[in-house]
Amino acid sequence: MTDRQDPGEILSAPLIIEYPFKRTTGPVIGAFLTGLRERVLVGSRAEDGRVLVPPAEFDPVSGEDLTELVEVGPQGVITTWAWVTQPHAKHPLDEPFAWVLVKLDGADTPMLGALAAPGIEAVSTGARVEPVWADEREGHIDDIAHWTLVDPEGGRA
Amino acid sequence: MGHERVAVVGIGQTKHEATRGDVSVAGLLREAAQRALADAEMTWTDVDAVVIGKAPDFFEGVMMPELFLADALGCTGKPMFRVHTAGSVGGSTAIVASQLISAGIHERVLTVAFEKQSESEAMWALSLPIPFTPPLHAGAGGYFAPHIRSYIRRAKAPDHIGMLVALKDRQNGLKNPYAHLHEHDISFDSIKESMMLWDPIRYAETCPSSDGACALVLGSEKVADEAKAQGRTPAWVQGTAMRSEPTLSAERDTVLPLGGALCAADVYRQAGITNPRKDVDAVEMYVPFSWFEPMWLENLGFAEPGEGWKMTEAGATAMDGDLPVNMSGGVLCTNPIGASGMLRFAEAAMQVRGTAGEHQIDGVRKAVGHAYGGGSQFFAMWVVGTEKP
B259 Cα distance to chain centroid: 17
Segment B264-287 mean pLDDT: 98
Buried b (16+ CB within 10 A) or exposed e, B256-294: bbebbbebbbbbbebbebeebeebbbbbbbbbbbbbbbb
Q: Which residues contact B204 (CB under 8 A, 6 or more apart)?
A: B163, B166, B170, B186, B190, B191, B194
Q: How many residues does chain B have?
A: 389
Single-letter code of the amino acid located at B226: E
Question: Is pLDDT of B104 > 90?
Answer: yes
Give just the sign of the alpha carbon dihedral B381, B383, B388, B389.
negative
Distance CA B385, CA B349 (A): 8
Helices B258-271, B292-299: crossing angle, 10 deg rounding: 60
Q: Name the helix (H) or strand (E) containing A69.
A: strand A69-72
User: Residue-wise pLDDT tens for chain A (157 aa)?
Assistant: 455 656 677 778 887 766 778 889 999 999 999 999 999 999 999 999 999 999 999 998 888 999 999 999 999 999 999 999 999 999 999 999 999 999 999 999 999 999 999 999 999 999 999 999 999 999 999 999 999 999 876 644 4
Alpha carbon of B107: minimum distance to chain A alpha carbons (Å): 20
Q: Quick check: B76 and A22 CB within 8 A?
A: no
Distance CA B8, CA B6 (A): 7
Distance CA B363, CA B381 (A): 21
Q: Report the SS3 class of residue A122.
A: helix
Distance CA A56, CA A46 (A): 8
A 10 A CB-CB count for A86 gives 6
Helices (H), chain A: 26-37
Chain A hits for B26, CB-CB cut-off 8 Å, are 26, 57-58
Q: Quick check: A65 and B30 CB within 8 A?
A: yes
Please state, rounded to an integer, the average pLDDT across all residues of chain B: 94
Q: Which architecture, in CATH terms, is B6-122+209-229? A: 3-Layer(aba) Sandwich (3.40)
CB burial of residue B41 (10 Å; 0-12, 13-18, 19+):
middle
Exposure on the CB side of residue B102, measured as CA atoms within 13 A: 19
pLDDT digits (tens, 9 = 90+) for A114-125: 999 999 999 999
Chain A hits for B61, CB-CB cut-off 8 Å, are 19, 21
What is the predicted pLDDT for the residue at A156? 47
**Contact present, B85 and B380 (Cβ < 8 Å):** yes
What is the predicted pLDDT for the residue at B250? 84
Interstrand relation of A144-149 and B196-198 (parallel, antiparallel or unpaired): unpaired
Omega prior to B276 cis, within 30 of 0: no
Chain B hits for A21, CB-CB cut-off 8 Å, are 60-61, 119-121
Distance CA A59, CA B349 (A): 31
Single-letter code of the amino acid located at B355: T
| HEC sequence for chain B | CCCCCEEEEEEEECCCECCCCCCCHHHHHHHHHHHHHHHCCCCHHHCCEEEEEECCCCCCCCCCCHHHHHHHCCCCCCCEEEECCHHHHHHHHHHHHHHHHHCCCCCEEEEEEEEEHHHCCHHHHCCCCCCCCCCCCCHHHHHHHHHHHHHHHHHCCCCCHHHHHHHHHHHHHCCCCCCCCCCCCCCHHHHHHCCEEECCEEHHHECCCCEEEEEEEEEEHHHHHHHHHCCCCCEEEEEEEEEECCCCCCCCCCCCCHHHHHHHHHHHHHHCCCCHHHHCCEEECCCCECCHHHHHHHHCCCCCCCCHHHHHHHCCCCCCCCCCECCCCCCCCCCCHHHHHHHHHHHHHHHHHCCCHHHCCCCCCEEEEEEEECCCCEEEEEEEECCCC
Chain B hits for A58, CB-CB cut-off 8 Å, are 26, 30, 71-72
What is the predicted pLDDT for the residue at B57? 86
ipTM of the complex: 0.79
Distance CA B17, CA A136 (A): 33
What is the predicted pLDDT for the residue at B86? 86
What is the predicted pLDDT for the residue at A157? 42
Question: Which among A21, A58, A61 has CB closest to B119?
Answer: A21
Alpha carbon of A50: minimum distance to chain B alpha carbons (Å): 17
Residue B128 binned pLDDT confidence (cut-offs 50, 70, 90):
low
Alpha carbon of B70: minimum distance to chain A alpha carbons (Å): 10
* CA–CA–CA angle B346, B375, B252 (5° rounding): 120
**Contact present, A74 and A53 (Cβ < 8 Å):** no
Q: Which residues contact B183 (CB under 8 A, 6 or more apart)?
A: B170, B173, B174
CB burial of residue B55 (10 Å; 0-12, 13-18, 19+):
buried
* CA–CA–CA angle B116, B95, B11 (5° rounding): 60
Q: How many residues does chain A have?
A: 157
Q: Which residues contact A13 (CB under 8 A, 6 or more apart)?
A: none
Chain A hits for B25, CB-CB cut-off 8 Å, are 24
Q: Which residues contact B189 (CB under 8 A, 6 or more apart)?
A: none
Q: Which architecture, in CATH terms, is B138-207+239-385? A: 3-Layer(aba) Sandwich (3.40)
What is the predicted pLDDT for the residue at B2? 60
**Residue in chain A nearest B26 by alpha carbon:** A57
pLDDT digits (tens, 9 = 90+) for B189-239: 999 999 999 999 999 999 999 999 999 999 999 999 999 999 999 999 999
Buried b (16+ CB within 10 A) or exposed e, A88-102: eeeeeeeebbbebbb
pLDDT digits (tens, 9 = 90+) for B293-345: 999 999 999 999 999 999 999 999 999 999 999 999 999 999 999 999 999 99
Of the candidates A106, A27, A35, A39, the residue with the CA atom closest to the CA atom of residue A67: A27
Q: Name the helix (H) or strand (E) containing A148.
A: strand A144-149
CB pairs under 8 A between A and B: 64
pLDDT digits (tens, 9 = 90+) for B333-382: 999 999 999 999 999 999 999 999 999 999 999 999 999 998 899 999 99
Question: Which among A19, A20, A58 has CB closest to B71?
Answer: A58
